[in-house]
Amino acid sequence: MDWLVKVEQLAAWLREFGIWAIAVSLLLSIAVAILGLVPSVFISGANAVVFGIVPGFWISLAGEVLGAAISYWLYKWGFGKTRLKQDNWSWLRRLNEGGRPKQFSILAFARLTPVPSGVITFVAAISSMRYIDFLLATTLGKMPSIAMETLIGHDLFTINENLPRLLVVVSVVIVVYLLFRGRNKKKG
């Protein structure tokens, strides 16, 4: 439970900022998004501990979306002149040729997977996807995972009061994971 200690340390650090804790949390989320491969689960858990489940969820979601939005523009700017050959990248070709509704659903679903957020943002940035579609799909796609992270993060710290809910949420997550894993094995 080393990660639990890290969440507790992050929560204590955020509390030190008092009224500025929300701004610090948002900036931290933006930095994590720009780094691309660092998991945000620690921030979501700390937000739930410091601010409560519902406010922690909204703060975490805002931070993730802001971070993805800024990362998208940085990737677009940095790689905008470089065009990857679609012949070598079938996933990029499928995304570009899919049309707006297909692009939206692909990105929203990708946000539900354990693929690092930075990778998904990078793919969207180098594709032909519109920025507004990216923001909406990111927001909708991130909601379930952030809800899970904030709820589990909160309940782990208040385990004496919330053990039954924690067990139900963890069980649901495991069942959903196994269903997706089983479905993907059948396709492969």
pLDDT score, position 19: 92
Q: How many residues does the chain have?
A: 188
158 versus 121: which is more confidently predicted? 121
Checking if the pLDDT of 86 tops 60, the result is no
pLDDT digits (tens, 9 = 90+) for 127-164: 889 999 999 999 999 999 899 888 887 777 776 777 77
pLDDT score, position 36: 77
What span, in angstroms and rounded, lies between the C-alpha atoms of 57 and 188? 35
Compute the mean pLDDT over every residue in the chain, rounded to the nearest whole number. 84
Mean pLDDT over 84-101 rounds to 72
pLDDT digits (tens, 9 = 90+) for 47-81: 999 999 999 999 999 999 999 999 999 998 887 65
Q: At what angle do helices 99-110 and 117-126 cross, to 10 degrees?
A: 160
| pLDDT band of 89, cuts 50, 70, 90 | low
What span, in angstroms and rounded, lies between the C-alpha atoms of 111 and 141? 5
pLDDT score, position 185: 65
